[in-house]
Amino acid sequence: MAPRRPHDSGTGMTSARTRERMVDGLRARGIGSEAALSAMQRVPRHLFVDEALATRAYEDTALPIGWGQTLSQPWEVARMTEAVLEVAPERVLEVGAGSGYQSAVLAELVDGVWAVELLPQLARRGKQNLRTLGYGNVRFRDGDGRTAWRESAPFDAGLMAASAEGPPEEILDQIRVGGCLVGPVGTGEDQRLIRWLRNPDGFQAEDLGPCCFVPLRHQAGTPSSSK
């Protein structure tokens, strides 16, 4: 997929230059995928948070987006995007899409994104954000992340932006052989970012290090599908 032109909206602490400094910091911390970094430089993160927080959008920190949810810190977005790109995906599933920032970064890099957000109010905001910026290759809906998007599976890769207690079996089942799912497991300060690579015999788990995400929630009355 051809990269989009940079979105240059913003001045001062929300300018393209501020975005560039954020990317320089991620590169200095070890993010090696220039494709992921270029995508993050193009996407205006400040448009995915409330206006009152826009001047903090390019700090390497998670930011609240309402309803008890957060926008993942740039480092974690970059690290997860980099890990997903290693399988050269064209179709990517995203669970816990929030206000749409990670969806936009992925949309810069792959043919299609299927994004699921549990909270209808937040899903509406995410859809509007992506529509405003012209991302026509993202399908975005509200729904239970634990069941994800069965009818459009299998996906080349998946990205989970909320922490499960264990390997999320039902989401893993929607990843094709040769693909991967990247997401956190664990609770509190004991979370680890895991990449599950699917081979013909099952999944191989790779520990990518510590992380911090909100817990994966499900709709009332829906049982957990984690092992």
Is-catalytic flag, 225?
no
> Per the residue annotation, which of 9, 33, 38, 72 is the catalytic one?
72
Handedness of CA 163, 149, 157, 136 (dihedral sign): negative
**DSSP readout, 86-145?**
TT--SEEEEES-TTSHHHHHHHTTSSEEEEEES-HHHHHHHHHHHHHTT-TTEEEEES-T
Cα–Cα distance for residue pair 145/160, rounded to 1 Å:
9
Residue 152 φ/ψ, nearest 5 degrees: -105, 0
Q: Report the catalytic residues.
A: 72
